[in-house]
Amino acid sequence: MAKVAKKKAAAKRRVAKRPAAKRAAPAKKVAVASPAVEKAQAALDKLMKDVQAQGKAVEAARKKAAAAKNKAAKSKKAADKRAAKSASGAATKLSAKVRALRAKASAAKTTLQNAKTAAAAKAAETAAKERIAALKAGLAAKAEADLAKAVKAFEAKWKKKRAAADAKKAKTAEKKANAKTKAAEKKAKAKMAAAAKKAAAKAKVAAKKAAAKARVAERKAAARAKAAERKAAAKAKAAARKAAAKSKPKAKAKAKPRAAARKAPAKRKTAAKRTSRAKKK
């Protein structure tokens, strides 16, 4: 019995002295191609090209508007003024189009970032599953190799213990991988929420700016209309005064014969009085 106990103790010491299995080196991060990422990138590239092209068109339109404005200021002709106003309106429309394209490009950037984040999370999940599969395969292979070297007397017991240990290791590794996957998903959701919040804030600021510009434009238009009304009223008053001034001399000319007719009997009376006084003297 003592010899058997000594043999068991020696076997345990040999098992304890075995070197630990080397850990597999972590896999390098590889960029995974995703259809959603490629589609978002293509859309963003197209929008950026459109923004550049429209930017050049806006610059050309502004130069044209400035030239037309200078020409109108020098010539003061109505046709030149209309041309300047038309050129300015065209430049404003192109500027608005560029702003809209830039807003679309910003949204496309957000979409691309979200697609990249989702693709990275998916790649992390796939890599974790592959690592678990590799770990399971490695553990199974190691178990088979150790099993071949194990003592026949301990075969059934050793298999049971080893299977339990391997299942525990696999379960622990799976839990860790699941935790990492959940953390990656949470991080991706946080990034997407932050990006959406940022985009909403930008859109809100842009809307406020547009509303302020529209209010300023309405005030300017109202002021111009009021000024035009005042000018028209002043012109109408001036025309009325001129017409009144022209009609007054005619009225005076008509009134003179009546006054002369009134004065004639009075003159006759004064002449008669003078003659009667002369006779008395």
The pLDDT of residue 179? 92
Asked if residue 141 belongs to a domain, the reply is: yes
Tell me the C-alpha distance between 34 and 213, whole Å: 42
- Is 61:94 a contact under the CB 8 Å cutoff? yes
Asked if residue 66 belongs to a domain, the reply is: yes
270: left (phi > 0), else alpha (psi -120 to 50), else beta? alpha
Q: How confident is the model at residue 220 (pLDDT cuts 50, 70, 90)?
A: confident
Asked if residue 277 belongs to a domain, the reply is: no
Asked if residue 4 belongs to a domain, the reply is: no
Choose the weakest-confidence range: 8-12, 70-74, 139-143, 210-214: 8-12
Task: Report the domain count for the chain.
Answer: 1
The pLDDT of residue 120? 84
Asked if residue 279 belongs to a domain, the reply is: no
Asked if residue 228 belongs to a domain, the reply is: yes
The pLDDT of residue 258? 55
15, pLDDT greater than 60:
no
Average pLDDT, stretch 157-170? 87
Asked if residue 270 belongs to a domain, the reply is: no
The pLDDT of residue 105? 76
Picking from 207, 209, 210, 188, the residue whose alpha carbon sits closest to that of residue 199 is 207
Domain, as residue range, for 227: 34-263
Model confidence, pTM: 0.32
